[in-house]
Amino acid sequence: MLLHNYLEKQKIAIDEALDTLLPPEDQFPPQLHKAMRYCLFAGGKRIRPILAIAAAEAVGGNPENIIQEASALELIHTFTLIHDDLPAMDNDDYRRGVLATHKVFGEAMAILAGDALLTEAFKILSLGCRSGLHKPDHIVEIIEVVAEASGSRGIVGGQVVDIDSEGKTIDKEHLEYIHHHKTGSLITASVLLGGTLAHGTNQEIEHLKTYGTAIGLAFQITDDILDVTGSSEELGKSTGSDCNKGKATYPRILGIDQAEGKKRELYQEAIHALHSFDEKADHLRELGLYIIERHC
């Protein structure tokens, strides 16, 4: 199947799952449930859930069995977007091509909608045994992985250092800390979630982790490059905003050419990590290429 069709098919399945799993808009209190759904369904490529699904395929699992758990990753991602956009943080007005949640629902509701999405993600993960599809010890394992990736030693830690670094001169190691934590940690957790729930061996899980770490950093370098070279229409948010905020980015520290080089090097690393996998890992390989060659 062409990657484009694969992405489309998985996105539909994930969006259906998200719609079923989240409380409906009219459930009390409706303004909260509207706010929770607003940014979530404004767009988004669903890269993290799709990476989880492709990782499950790579170890021979049935991707349909992990759609719900994969979807929970998108709730965590959306929570980080809503909180990052807040006036006290990055103060961004647009996200996924529409006004940011705090611009539409107000700051208090944006904070609370983010909190509720984060919490809902763990609720959904905890439901994974009910279907009989997953063993409780696997569910506990992925909850640990996702929590570790999302908290002070993951996304939140990365965001703290990112905000703290604005307008400062930081070196490449410092920037990589931010990227690995703010972006890489949840991408790595996504492939680990898919691999674990689909009963990957310890060795397979190790290889998936190497793939995730490399492709996670490549993902963020691509974002950094697109912030300079991309069109705001395609990206659904202002371009040049990182630069305007004095944020450190790969192109700023290394220049565009070296940033491009680093991105391709990481892609090769990611592909190499999959060398012992057969053609069932082809979607994961293609996703790697898609991640570094996308325009939005």
Q: Does 151 bind a second copy (CB under 8 A)?
A: yes
Can you tell me the distance from the alpha carbon of 271 to that of 281, in angstroms, rounded to the nearest whole number?
10
Complex with a second copy: residue 164 or 265, whichever CB lies closer: 164
**Least Å distance between CB 103 and a second copy?**
13
Adjacent-strand bridge partners of 95: 98
Per the CB < 8 A criterion, the answer to whether 19 and 71 are in contact is no
Spatial CA neighbour of 253 closest among 163, 182, 176: 176
Q: Does 120 bind a second copy (CB under 8 A)?
A: yes
Complex with a second copy: residue 24 or 261, whichever CB lies closer: 24
Site size with a second copy, rule: CB under 8 A: 55
Q: What is the token pair recorded at 216?
A: 């996670």
Q: Does 114 bind a second copy (CB under 8 A)?
A: yes
279 SS3 class: helix
Sign of CA dihedral 152, 223, 5, 207: negative
Spatial CA neighbour of 80 closest among 111, 41, 53: 111
Q: Does 16 bind a second copy (CB under 8 A)?
A: no
- Which of positions 152-191 make contact with a second copy (CB under 8 A)? 152-154, 156-157, 159-161, 163-164, 177
Q: What is the token pair recorded at 22?
A: 């989240």
- Which of positions 24-43 make contact with a second copy (CB under 8 A)? 27-29, 31-33, 36
Task: Give the residue, chosen from 119, 169, 231, 238, that forms a contact with a second copy under the rule CB under 8 A.
Answer: 119
Per the CB < 8 A criterion, the answer to whether 31 and 109 are in contact is yes
**Least Å distance between CB 26 and a second copy?**
13
Q: What is the token pair recorded at 284?
A: 């994961």
Per the CB < 8 A criterion, the answer to whether 22 and 35 are in contact is no
Q: Does 111 bind a second copy (CB under 8 A)?
A: yes
Complex with a second copy: residue 35 or 273, whichever CB lies closer: 35
**Least Å distance between CB 139 and a second copy?**
5
Can you tell me the distance from the alpha carbon of 197 to that of 139, in angstroms, rounded to the nearest whole number?
8
- Residues near a second copy (CB under 8 A) are 23, 27-29, 31-33, 36, 79, 83, 86, 88-89, 106-109, 111-112, 114-116, 118-120, 122-123, 125-129, 135-137, 139-141, 143-144, 147-148, 150-154, 156-157, 159-161, 163-164, 177
